[in-house]
Structures are given as C-alpha cells and as structure tokens.
Amino acid sequence: MGAFVDDALAKGARVLTKNVGRKTDTLFRPVLLYPVSADAEIYTREQFGPVVPVAAYEDEADFIDFVTKSNFGQQLSIFGRDPEKIRGLVQALSNQVCRININGQCQRGPDHLPFTGRKDSAEGTLSISDALRCFSIRTVLATPLDAATCGYLA
C-alpha cells in the first residue's frame, strides 16, 4: 500500500487526510489521495481500501471512457441534482457496473443487497452456480429514500 501512495505522490497527488497512511506493525491507516493522475499505479487498481484514490474529470465523456475501459465493475456513485444528467449517466454506465448509487455512497454489497460484479471484479471467488445467480442481476440503482432523490427514478 505504501508503494501505491508513494507512486501517486510522486505523480502529483496529495494526501487529504491527516496522520494517516502510516504503517504500524500490521496496521496501515486509511489515506485519501487527490488528484490521482492516470499514470499513477493506483489509478488502474480495484479499490477496497485503505488507499482511496480520487481522480478529477473535466469532461463527462472522459469519465465514461475511464469506466468503460476499466477492467472492474462492481459499483459507482453518482451525485447530482439534474435528473436528465443523472439519467444519461445511468444509461451510459449501467452496462459497465452492476450497482449504481444515486446520491448515496458505495457500500458493501452483502450488507444490504446481493454481491454483484462485472468484468474482472470478483473473478474466481464464486462457484459457477453462485456466479450465475449473483451476476444475473442486471443493475441495481440505490438511492436514499427521500423526496429529493425519488424524483430521479420517475
């Protein structure tokens, strides 16, 4: 993990969290890196923490291109207030990831919904019957249940 952090820092990222990213025996404290450039090693890795890379995109097309070319596809979150923009992103990304959270954070799948993944995500961790059952779920849209976000699903 330290090598990923060092590489990202050498390529322009900054650590946005305090007193973290330090290894103590077997503990590596969480670290948030921003902005992570496309040439950083961590940019193309599937993330489960404790290193969290954040990349900035100026153009939606660049972000969609990144997700499309990524080898991984478990879930992502879209935050916004424009229903048309959100709808367009959902349409563009629903074949790339199995779960799209609208105005809500990514979460551990088994805690609330079945585990799902596309592409190389979770490769080799399930039996054939488990994989067929789990990966048959098309796409899950998850959003907090309140008046402000329910209108996006109408």
Q: Tell me how far the alpha carbon of residue 8 is from its chain's centroid.
A: 18
Chain centroid, CA 20 distance in Å: 21
Q: Could you read off the pLDDT of 27-84 as tens digits, one per residue?
A: 788 899 999 999 999 988 877 778 888 988 889 999 899 888 887 766 788 899 999 9
**Strand, coil or helix: 64:** helix
Q: How far is CA 1 from the centre of its chain?
A: 18
Chain segment 101-125, per-residue pLDDT in tens: 899 887 766 666 666 666 666 555 5
The predicted model gives 124-134 an average pLDDT of 59
Q: Is the pLDDT of residue 136 over 80?
A: no
Q: What value does the mean pLDDT take over residues 21-27?
A: 69
pLDDT band at 98 (very low <50, low <70, confident <90, very high): confident
Predicted pLDDT at 20: 61
pTM of the complete model beyond 0.75: no
**Is residue 122 within 8 Å of 71, Cβ to Cβ?**
no
Q: How far apart are CA 91 and CA 27, in angstroms?
A: 40
Determine the residue type at 21: G
Q: What three-state secondary structure class fits 130?
A: helix
